[in-house]
Amino acid sequence: MNPTTDFTPWPTELQQQYRAQGYWSDAPLGTLLAQTAAAAGEHIAIIAGDKRWSYSQLDERANQLAAGLLASGLQPGTRVVVHLPNCGELFEILFALFRIGVAPILALPSHRFAEISYFCSFAEADAYITCANNNGFDHRELARQLQHNHIIERVIIVGDSTGDAEEFCALDSLYQTPIALPNINASDVALYQLSGGTTGVPKLIPRTHNDYYYSLRASALICELTQASVYLAVLPVVHNFPLSSPGALGVLWAGGTLVLAENGAPDLAFSLIEQHQVTVTAMVPPLALTWLSAAENRQKMGDAPKLKSLQVIQVGGAKFCETAARRIQPILGCQLQQVFGMAEGLVNYTRLSDDQDTTMATQGRPISPHDEIRIVNDEDRPVADGETGHLLTRGPYTIRGYFRAAEHNAKAFTADGFYRTGDLVRMTERGYLIVEGRAKDQINRGGEKIAAEEIENCLLAHPQVQDAALVAMPDPFLGERSCAFVTLRTGCNQQPLKSNELIKASDLQRFLRECNLATFKIPDRIEFIASLPQTRLGKVDKKYLREWISEKLARATQLKI
């Protein structure tokens, strides 16, 4: 490992301070499950469909898998790409990897060859762990592509691997009698989360055992989780929000029960809440709006969902408008908790004891007394109290640099270690943050971050595209959707296109799907334009494009009324 590019440590004096103040306990994440299993024993830890894991079973399975992974050739200090949906086996894998010092790179279920091949190559991963199929997508075929292109050799398949024995390793074949496991340094990287990304594929975010353990432990305490808590995971649990804020790991630390859902569709989720007496769940604003609409419709039909056990709904991932926030309690009958955070570290919560106005109108305050916050203008000078500015932060669980990204780190972090989040915020007198928007060229599509440059580069690969610009357009459901403005070639090294040969928006969308991009990255709308407007500095005027599409959508809405 090259520490100047792979991992940027906290300064020694801050490490000492964080330990002295009890933030860093020097306990590896693998010990979390062992400690809870010792106390909770046969209490149910995870429910996934018809499967159940008690804490004792989960702990034993993790130890058996850890032994098998070591025997298979994985070595401490290496990395693997984990690409799984919400399933109980994911947690056997995570704790096994934590215990042998192998860091998982947590890919999203929606990622495809473009992203997975990059993670494997860039991080020099030793293995790719995935499932056979998920939502109709054949992950084994993706794995074959990786092997065919000599990107990865070792593939481990969760679930049905019939007929794949010669190509892949079945997870079920790896469980062995537990052995003495290596000592793990809690200052080492435990896992890699993914950044939203503004310049293409996501950056890898190295989270250490110490900082991540503190974040999830403090989150669980703030969110008042106990052994009686039943947490329904409706978002992809590998996201930082449902994994550690307080998420699945926070629930397992507290000794509660984690219920895994395939998705957040109201009919499925409402049924699981009733069946398992769920007390808390977490979601992004679009899903919250879907639940509100579904609950209202069912109430009108005399079939109100039975959600009496549900105490708290956390909403995060994107700003939740105050009007919608105030509908949660009257319609769903539970308390709202707003969450604003990032996989790079900083997490803010409204507290369950906060007054209604604070809960509805702010995105919370930081976890730690030692979360340092700066709100600055474009020149990095502090703004006046209450004014909007760029959010900068550092603290005991906020990274000091991305993995192997020295050039980007020089821009993303200040000389004294503050992370430039890209968020525009203002702070109330009580220290609560109100999110006002994003400064980075990034689209927040219902919590899924889309890097404009990545999609633009893919569009430019089409032989008939001359130029392209991707911008956000307003959407009442997702908050933002993506709109691509495209100019077509009329010369260069090609013959001019005839009018009947011009491609359609659907053609470009199909082309992008064939580039193996995640589904949420495909532009929701494509506008063909003669030329892209430019600023005085010769750059594409995206502000003008955003205003143009917003006005067009507004006019269309007015015509429908």
**DSSP line for 272-321:** HHHHHT--EEEE-HHHHHHHHHHHHHHHHTT-----TT--EEEE-SSPPP
Checking if the pLDDT of 498 tops 50, the result is: no
Per-residue confidence (pLDDT) for residue 497, from 0 to 100: 36
- With a pLDDT cut of 90, the percent of the chain lying above it is 82
For the segment 330-334, the average pLDDT, to the nearest whole number, is: 97
Peptide bond into 305 cis (omega under 30): no
Between 224 and 466, the higher pLDDT residue: 224
Checking if the pLDDT of 471 tops 70, the result is: yes
At residue 5 the predicted structure's pLDDT band, cuts being 50, 70 and 90, is low
For the segment 493-505, the average pLDDT, to the nearest whole number, is: 52
* Residues 232-259 pLDDT 10s: 999 999 999 999 999 999 999 999 999 9
Give pTM, 2 decimals.
0.87
Between 273 and 477, the higher pLDDT residue: 273
Checking if the pLDDT of 559 tops 90, the result is: no
Question: What is the chain's mean pLDDT, rounded?
Answer: 92
Per-residue confidence (pLDDT) for residue 143, from 0 to 100: 97
Per-residue confidence (pLDDT) for residue 349, from 0 to 100: 98
Checking if the pLDDT of 373 tops 80, the result is: yes
Per-residue confidence (pLDDT) for residue 286, from 0 to 100: 85
Lowest-confidence region among 51-60, 195-204, 385-394, 404-413: 195-204
* Domains of the chain, first to last: 55-184 (3.40.50.980), 230-438 (3.40.50.12780), 442-560 (3.30.300.30)
At residue 200 the predicted structure's pLDDT band, cuts being 50, 70 and 90, is low
Assess contact for 174 and 65: CB atoms under 8 A.
Answer: yes
Lowest-confidence region among 55-59, 70-74, 299-303: 299-303
The distance in angstroms from the start CA to the end CA of the chain is 61
| Exposure b/e, 415-453, CB count within 10 A at least 16 = b | eebbbbbbbbbbbeeeebbbbeebbbbbbbbbbbbbbbe
Report the sign of the C-alpha dihedral through residues 121, 238, 375, 6, in that order. Answer: negative
Can you list the alpha helix ranges (DSSP code H) found in 82-135?
A: 89-100, 113-122
